[in-house]
């Protein structure tokens, strides 16, 4: 019996799927996508997991748009606006992923908005406060280590997560550069001031070998080690910075992030262009760096008064010239 063309055609068409993945499987695949393909930090992946698990609950089906809106409205009653804004971002990314992968016929979270956040201006330490912090005595071995960390945080503006990931190969002494890996594993090179380089080299020579020798498990090339030779974690770095601020008698809020803000603020105040500061901070967008332009109002006002024809200084000179001319 000859073959029927219709039968051949039917066999060439893939069968329709009898079911789609569960919402939990969708979430698992999305988290893999974030980490493996977008290479976002593990902290962001963990935060998005928590946000989306809260949305999905125990249900296997994906919530529709009205349920998403109700969920965010409920979050606003018990969570900070920043947390709700992050949850909205997680939901937008999740549903956009599902639509792009063909798992959802439409992007149900398109146009979803979180609460509007007020832009928080960075809090920077004064130059005098930073000087007091970096001038603390460094005699004991751990204080030598802490001294090196404080210097690097302020000299390079690196994030605390970048600091704990530094290795002995990250410091390129001959070129006075620090190689840091920021968000998404993006590499950047940042100049190191001589004082910071000297502090790090002293730690490498006098302290780190002894700390490494105490380790039960070899920490490898990790730069900053604990008292027992383990790699330092973010919490311990935060504690070190706060303890140093207390020892220096500083009453302002002090943290590794405050030192990063101080680094950028003092560069801009000294006349650095935003593009250079952007590269040193590892910002993906110049818009993120532009927040630092607010810190230099006083310097701009002084420049205006000095150079503008109607500025205070030139105005006085102009008035004196007019009196002589009459």
Work out the number of other CB atoms within 10 angstroms of the CB of residue 49: 16
Active site residue 159: yes
Q: Which of 292, 299, 301, 324 is catalytic?
A: 292
Locate 123 and state its tokens. Answer: 């809090």
Q: Which of 71, 92, 159, 208 is catalytic?
A: 159
| Ramachandran category for residue 109: left, alpha or beta (phi over 0 → left; psi -120 to 50 → alpha) | alpha
Active site residue 283: yes
| Straight-line distance from the first to the last Cα atom of the chain, in angstroms, rounded to the nearest whole number | 119
CB of 179 closer than 8 Å to CB of 192: no
Cα 10 from chain centroid?
54
Q: Which of 183, 234, 236, 304 is catalytic?
A: 183
Q: Which of 49, 54, 123, 257 is catalytic?
A: 257
Place of tokens 């990063």: 260
Angstrom distance (rounded) from CA 224 to CA 221: 9
Active site residue 79: no
CB of 281 closer than 8 Å to CB of 267: no
Q: Which of 71, 86, 260, 261 is catalytic?
A: 260
Strands 187-191 and 177-181: antiparallel
Active site residue 203: no
Active site residue 257: yes
Q: Which of the residues are catalytic?
A: 159, 183, 257, 260, 283, 292
């Amino acid at each position: 019996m000859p073959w029927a063309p219709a039968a051949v055609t039917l066999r060439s068409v893939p069968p329709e799927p009898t079911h789609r993945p569960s919402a939990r499987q969708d979430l698992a695949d999305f988290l893999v996508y974030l980490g493996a393909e977008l290479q976002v930090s593990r902290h962001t992946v963990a935060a998005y997991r928590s946000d989306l698990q809260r949305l999905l609950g125990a249900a296997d089906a994906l919530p529709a748009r009205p349920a998403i809106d109700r969920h965010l409205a409920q979050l606003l009653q018990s969570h900070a606006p920043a947390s709700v804004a992050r949850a909205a971002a997680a939901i937008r990314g999740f549903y956009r992923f599902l639509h792009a992968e063909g798992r959802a016929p439409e992007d149900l979270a398109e146009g979803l908005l979180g609460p509007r956040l007020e832009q928080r201006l960075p809090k920077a330490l004064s130059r005098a406060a930073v000087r007091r912090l970096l001038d603390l005595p460094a005699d004991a071995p751990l204080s030598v280590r802490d001294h090196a960390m404080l210097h690097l945080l302020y000299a390079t503006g690196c994030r605390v997560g970048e600091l704990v990931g530094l290795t002995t190969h990250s410091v390129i002494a001959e070129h006075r550069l620090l190689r840091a890996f920021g968000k998404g594993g993006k590499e950047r090179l940042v100049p190191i001031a001589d004082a910071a380089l000297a502090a790090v080299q002293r730690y490498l020579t006098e302290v780190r070998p002894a700390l490494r020798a105490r380790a039960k498990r070899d920490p490898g090339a990790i730069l900053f080690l604990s008292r027992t030779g383990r790699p330092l974690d973010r919490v311990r770095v935060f504690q070190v910075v706060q303890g140093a601020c207390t020892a220096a008698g500083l009453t302002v809020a002090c943290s590794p992030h405050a030192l990063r803000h101080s680094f950028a603020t003092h560069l801009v105040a000294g006349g650095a262009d935003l593009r250079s500061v952007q590269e040193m901070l590892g910002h993906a967008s110049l818009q993120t760096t532009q927040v630092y332009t607010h810190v230099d109002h006083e310097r701009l006002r002084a420049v205006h008064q000095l150079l503008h024809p109607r500025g205070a200084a030139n105005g006085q000179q102009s008035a004196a010239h007019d009196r002589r001319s009459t």
